[in-house]
Amino acid sequence: MNVGFISLGCSKNLIDTEAAIGILKKHQYKIVNDAKEADIIIINTCGFIDSAKEEAINTILEMAEYKKNRCKYLIAMGCLVQRYKDELIKLLPEVDLFINLEEYDKIWEKIDDLVKRNKVKILETKKIPMLKQEEFLNRVITTGSNYAYLKIGEGCSNKCTYCAIPYIRGPFVSRTKEDILEEAQMLAKKGIKELIIIAQDTTKYGVDIYGECKLPELLQEISKIEEIKWIRFLYSYPEGITDELIEEVAKNKKIAKYFDIPIQHISNPILKKMNRRTSKEKIEELINKIRSKIPNVVLRTSLIVGFPGETKENFEELLQFVNDAKFDKLGVFQYSKEEGTPASRLPQQIHGNTKKARYNKIMLKQQAISKENLEKRIGKKYEVLVENMSFDNKYFIARTMQDAPEIDGVVYIKNENTKNIQLGEFKLVKVIGVNEYDLIAEFVENMEK
């Protein structure tokens, strides 16, 4: 039978999808990219915020239309299912099977039961386990041949008041270092050039099983894999960024000089309401420390506007901070009221129009900051990974080590007088122009030119 997959949400969800694809391939199912050709369609859902939930429901309904033709079974898995399974069973009779997170280790048995006997086993376990090492090793990489995500932990124990992740995926659980390194070796043998280390909070890695954060040590070990050229880690909470971690990033040539630090806000009263374990003063101190220790470091952050009780003064403080801190990359979320979270019960919920206006103000401010930061790179030379071509073939599309795929800008390189340039190669370029978020460059022969 042919199986088609749709993966929604974050890169952590994508790894679960890749593992599921690997399981089905192992059992002789053919994976197809066109839903019209699929006998089974599996949707890995996201349930993080309202817009993600809406996208998941709409996708399920869209895929249900294929049951009028070839598709025999529609299956939903992931965070939305974990959170709302009972409601979804009533709401979406088009779905033949819902798979909880705690059932991932039985995913093949459940699908096999559905296909062969149209009968689904009810599993009694409620604990959400980590995927088996075998499933990580057999996952099918869907991000191409240049980079892959490497998940080092599951769940989250931070319990920020606005976030439902701990209730969906349980407390933070680290993978063993041996398992992670084995998977990293496997990815290297497949030709992957860049590893992107992810977890809900990467700075918590190892605390639960080793008694202390082992992220610096893990990064050092991964960097010893000869075939891996670039390493970056995402989702590093500010309170977990230690001097040891900063030092490892500073001295290790394979680690991107890049920190993704989701601070969410800067006003101390709002940080306290969010149950964030830091303060404005500590955040500012951390930013100054990283920039002093690592010249030309790239800083990325994410913010939430419109959190319950966010006053005009709180927001103006955040806006001024964005102006002063001049982050290279910055994303903003409008607060989403998630049922079951402490923040959903707070008074002074902010009107949607106010949230949108505050979102627009910060994004407009950041657009100018981004261009200002990028203009400082004009005339400089960078090694880039050439990944694609523009639709009109006028430009190669590449990334520097300072740009994460999917979320950051790219480098457009003029396709002029270029011979033997292959996608997937590392090349040297010189920046000759910018727009708000991207660089424009030309190929150069060497760094001295």
CATH number for position 45 = 3.40.50.12160
- Asked whether residue 48 is domain-assigned, the answer is yes
Q: Are residues 150 and 294 in the same domain?
A: yes
3-state secondary structure of 170: coil
Structure-derived torsion over alpha carbons of residues 272, 274, 278, 281, reported in degrees to the nearest 10: -60
Q: What is the pLDDT of residue 50?
A: 86
Q: Are residues 295 and 156 in the same domain?
A: yes
Which of the listed residues 325, 349, 375 is the one where a domain comes to its end?
A: 375
Q: What is the pLDDT of residue 131?
A: 67
Which of the listed residues 62, 84, 117 is the one where a domain comes to its end?
A: 117
Residue 59 in contact with residue 47, Cβ under 8 Å? no
Q: What is the pLDDT of residue 122?
A: 38
Q: Are residues 239 and 94 in the same domain?
A: no
3-state secondary structure of 187: helix
Q: What is the pLDDT of residue 298?
A: 97
For residue 448, count CB atoms less than 10 angstroms from its CB and return exposed for 0-12, middle for 13-18, buried for 19 or more. exposed
- Asked whether residue 195 is domain-assigned, the answer is yes
Q: Are residues 219 and 140 in the same domain?
A: yes
For 74, the enclosing helix (H) or strand (E) is strand 73-78
Q: Are residues 101 and 138 in the same domain?
A: no
Q: Are residues 174 and 289 in the same domain?
A: yes
- Asked whether residue 208 is domain-assigned, the answer is yes
Exposure string of 232-257, with b = 16+ CB inside 10 Å and e = fewer, is bbbbbbbbbbeeebbebbeebebbbb
Q: What is the pLDDT of residue 130?
A: 63
Q: Are residues 237 and 190 in the same domain?
A: yes
Full residue range of the structural domain in which residue 407 is found: 381-443
The neighbour count for residue 66, using CB atoms within 10 Å, is 18
Q: What is the pLDDT of residue 132?
A: 67
Residue 335 in contact with residue 358, Cβ under 8 Å? no
Q: Two tokens at 292?
A: 């002093």
Residue 8 in contact with residue 52, Cβ under 8 Å? yes
- Asked whether residue 158 is domain-assigned, the answer is yes
CATH number for position 142 = 3.80.30.20
Q: What is the pLDDT of residue 107?
A: 85
Question: How far is Cα 101 from Cα 98, in angstroms, rounded to an integer?
Answer: 10
Cα angle: 392, vertex 396, 400; to 5 degrees = 145
Q: Are residues 98 and 139 in the same domain?
A: no
CATH number for position 414 = 2.40.50.140
Q: What is the pLDDT of residue 125?
A: 40
Q: Are residues 385 and 421 in the same domain?
A: yes
Which of the listed residues 328, 344, 375 is the one where a domain comes to its end?
A: 375
289-292 contacts: CB < 8 A, separation 24 or more? 289/243, 289/246, 290/241, 290/246, 290/259
DSSP sequence for 241-296: --HHHHHHHHH-TTB-SEEE---B---HHHHHHTT-S--HHHHHHHHHHHHHHSTT
Q: Are residues 294 and 188 in the same domain?
A: yes
- Asked whether residue 448 is domain-assigned, the answer is no
Q: How many angstroms separate the Cα of 239 from the Cα of each of 78, 169, 257, 263, 282?
A: 29, 22, 19, 10, 8
The single-letter code of the amino acid at 58 is: N
Q: Are residues 406 and 285 in the same domain?
A: no
Q: Are residues 109 and 172 in the same domain?
A: no
Per-residue pLDDT tens digits of the chain, which is 449 residues long:
899 999 999 999 999 999 999 989 988 899 999 999 999 999 999 988 888 899 999 999 999 999 999 999 999 999 999 999 999 999 999 999 999 888 887 888 888 888 876 543 433 444 566 666 766 778 889 999 999 999 999 999 999 999 989 888 889 999 999 999 999 999 999 999 999 999 999 999 999 999 999 999 999 999 999 999 999 999 999 999 999 999 999 999 999 999 999 999 999 999 999 999 999 999 999 999 999 999 899 999 999 999 999 999 999 999 999 999 999 999 999 999 988 899 999 999 999 999 999 999 999 999 999 999 999 999 999 999 999 999 888 999 999 999 999 999 999 998 887 777 889 999 999 999 999 999 999 998 764 43
- Asked whether residue 122 is domain-assigned, the answer is no
- Asked whether residue 128 is domain-assigned, the answer is no
- Asked whether residue 126 is domain-assigned, the answer is no
Count structural domains, the chain. Answer: 3
